[in-house]
Structure 1
Amino acid sequence: MGAFSIAEKLDRLFRQVRPVSPQRDQRHEGGQVEPSYMAVAEAIRATQGVPISHTYIWQLRTGRRDNPTVAHLTALAAYFGVPVSYFLDDEQTRRIDAQLDLLQTIRDAGVTQIALRAADVSPRGRETISELIRKVWESERRPQ
């Protein structure tokens, strides 16, 4: 296993990715909402047909279980919208985590107005906006 454990990676996804089922969400520090284990398990079973329990997901997240099947990793990755390589390749984990950080920064900055306006922009225009935001974000993250 690499520098990051499955538990750390799964915890990061729970903290960063928006919930699928709002009525079963749990709040944590900063008021951010995360999906419940039950909601994740139910969604995976319903949409992917992969048998998985909320207890097993909790065990993976807390490190009590650390050797999930490829089917479970694939299902969790699909639920959270990341490639399964997120769990298997630490370099991929770093890249995706950087993208998740950017999304969180955008959320925290209240950029919803920009997003709503961008919906009426051409795909090429949205790519340009996205690239500009990424460049600003990267420039502000560089050590001075």
Structure 2
Amino acid sequence: MTTDPPTPLSARVNLLFRVFHAKGEPEQTSDEVAKAVSAATGASVSRTVIDGLRRGDPGDAALLTALAAHFGAPAAYLLAPDSEVVVLHRKLRFLAEARDAGTRLLALRGDMEPTADPTELLDRILES
């Protein structure tokens, strides 16, 4: 059995940018995300702070929680130790790859019904 390499905070943040946009649409910019996080928290967050997170600068829990919420991800994805997020990180990478490959329908085993809505699928995966 192979083990996943460590998933540093920068990789997690960058994956949120990569996953949470529509196929054919560009990723949100750091400036757009900074403005949205600022509006949500009432605290000023600059593009340079977001860029720093994307490069690996540490962030405080409040900022990381707000950033995760902006992308619709659980805060634990950015706050928890690597060992606790490796499965979620794999699932998010899968979703990005499926979207980029043009996947329109996924059929899953278990109690999940097939869906053409990637947002609904992500919600179901994150709940499991």
TM-score relative to the length of structure 1 = 0.60
* Structure 2 contact 8–82 (Cα < 8 Å) conserved: no
Tell me what 2:36 maps to. Answer: 43
Q: CA RMSD in A?
A: 2.9
Q: Percent identity?
A: 30
CA distance in 2: counterparts of 1:18 and 1:50, whole angstroms? 24
2:100 counterpart of 1:75: no
What letter is aligned with 1:127?
Answer: M
**Structure-2 change in CA distance of 1:3 and 1:127 (3 Å):** closer
Check 1:86–1:128 CA distance in 2 against 1; reply closer, same or farther (3 A cut). same
What SS is found at the alignment partner of 1:77?
A: helix
Instruction: Report matched runs for 1:1-144 at 5 Å.
Output: 3-18=6-21, 33-63=26-56, 65=57, 67-87=58-78, 88-107=80-99, 108-111=101-104, 114=105, 127-129=112-114
C-alpha distance in 2, partners of 1:4/1:128?
A: 30
1:3-40 per-residue CA deviation (whole Å, 9 max, x = no partner) reads 32211211121122217xxxxxxxxxxx6621101100
Structure 1 stretch displaced more, 49-58 or 95-104: 95-104
Structure with more relative contact order (C-alpha pairs < 8 Å, separation 6 or more): 2
Aligned residues, how many? Answer: 106
Match of 1:25 in 2: none
Larger Rg belongs to: 1
Deviation at 1:62, TM superposition (A): 1.2
> How many angstroms does 1:82 deviate by?
1.3
Higher share of residues assigned helix:
1
Q: Please tell me whether the aligned partners of residues 10 and 60 of structure 1 are also in contact (alpha carbons under 8 angstroms).
A: yes
Q: 2:92 and 2:7 mapped to 1: Cα distance?
A: 16
